[in-house]
Amino acid sequence: MTPTPAAASAPPSRPAGKAWRLLVLGAGAVGGYFGGRLAAAGADVVFLIRPPRAASLERQGLVVESPLGDCRIAPQLVASGEAAGAVDLVLLACKAYDLETALAAVRPAVGPATLVLPLLNGIAHLERLDAAFGRVRVLGGIAHLAATLTPSGAIRHLNTLQRMIAGPRAPGQTPVLAKLAGAMGAAGVDFVVADDIEQALWEKYVFLATLAGATCTRRASLGAILANPEGAAFLDDLLAECSAIAAAAGHPPHPAGFAPYRRQLGEAGSPLTASMLRDMERGAPTEADHILGHLVRLAESYGIATPRLHVAYAHLQAYEHTRQPKPHF
């Protein structure tokens, strides 16, 4: 269910004449890509990173390899545990299982006028962020980006889609969004300010949970799943279950807003897989509890039967129980 804390007043404005500054948590595929594009276009961006990633970036810089054009910058770096100073906007692009560590790392940079823009999957993180900083400081955000870190540490953009959707969740948040829109435009990134960001978040959530649940359970691409009637039926049933949960939460997928996702889920021969499956294939932790587990718990609270979703979640729980933990950064 979408969190609805008590209303709060707007955050105070940044003092006149103070430069606009953005803090990006980490320099992985998502944060590193968007932060790198912004920095290359002249924005004041500082990256808060862990020591192993810092060593790589200090040696070779932050490198983006993309069909839209490569770039290399010498990033402003702050190591975890150091003070970055208060900033206007924190871009939070961590995995859900790293959220508590991320909150502790960025807290010193959250001043009286700072807003936080999370680009995490799902919806459950908003309640935790609201509790940590107050809803008045927390925007809603979605990243549409296919990117990965190469063995050398470069960020490889896998296609030409580079879109960020963000929107206000409380009064007084639009001025920072307008500044971010201008900076993203200068960087050549497709940036959309959503009037109803929580509806947009739920529509992506339904899509992602369906994609992750199907591709992880079947250990196959979307095209391979759709190639047989049983697989196609499993995916359709899973989509129906996730949509029913969203509707019970007050955010049924709108036909127009969900149409692009529906086309992707029905594309014959599609090589698309969820990043969660790629995490499984390399023995890494997954966001199964944050994505599928959260939906299962919501379904139970609403009295909605979700047999396909339960199967998918149980499959991922078994994986998490048996995998060999590896360090992740």
Distance, CA of 147 to CA of 119 (rounded, Å): 14
Q: Is 283 exposed, middle or buried (0-12, 13-18, 19+ CB in 10 A)?
A: exposed
Distance of CA 106 to the CA centre of its chain: 17
Rounded to 5 degrees, what are φ and ψ at 112?
Answer: -60, -25
Nearest to 323 by CA among 275, 269, 281, 265: 281
3-state secondary structure of 45: strand
Task: Work out the number of other CB atoms within 10 angstroms of the CB of residue 49.
Answer: 26
Catalytic residues: 204
Distance, CA of 274 to CA of 8 (rounded, Å): 36
